[in-house]
Amino acid sequence: GAVVSQHPSRVICKSGTSVKIECRSLDFQATTMFWYRQFPKQSLMLMATSNEGSKATYEQGVEKDKFLINHASLTLSTLTVTSAHPEDSSFYICSAHNSLDEKLFFGSGTQLSVL
C-alpha cells in the first residue's frame, strides 16, 4: 500500500520551544493532507486540513498561530507547534489523500512530550 512517512516519531522538548513535524507521501502526490491529534485511548481529533499551495483550514478551537501548517509541495506538509507547552503534549498524526484512488493513508505518528 501507499506509504506516508512522518518524522520525527518522538520529540521531547522544553516548554517554550518550537517543534516541527514533517509528513511526506512517498509514492503518490497528495494535494490534501490532514493533521490529527490523539489523546490516550481516544479517537483521532482533526486539527486542520492542508491543501497544497494554499492556507490550511483549521477546525474550531485549534489555534492557527499555535499550530503552523505548511504544504509547500505535493508530497510534503509540515506542522510546527510554536512555543510548545505541556498541554500540547500529545500524539500527532498526519494523513495524505491519494486522489487517484481516493484513499487516505496515515503516517506513523509523532509523540510530543513538552517538559
Give least dist CB 110 to other proteins, A. Answer: 9
Residue ranges binding other proteins (CB under 8 A): 1, 4, 6, 31-32, 34, 42-44, 46, 49, 91, 93, 95, 97, 99, 102-109, 111
Rounded Cα distance, 106 and 103, in Å:
10
Whichever of 6 and 75 has its CB closer to other proteins, that residue is 6
CA distance 88 to 6: 18
Note whether 105 and 23 are within 8 A (CB): no
- Number of Cβ within 10 Å of residue 87's Cβ equals 8
Residue 1 or 86: which CB sits closer to other proteins? 1
Q: How far is the CB of 78 from other proteins (least distance, A)?
A: 16
Query: Which residue matches cell numbers 517554550?
Result: 16
Closest separation in Å from C-beta 96 to other proteins: 11
Nearest-approach distance from CB 68 to other proteins, in angstroms: 19
Q: Do 36 and 91 touch, CB atoms closer than 8 A?
A: no
**Smaller CB separation from other proteins, 38 or 80:** 38
Query: Scanning the structure block, which residue is given the C-alpha cell 486542520?
Result: 48
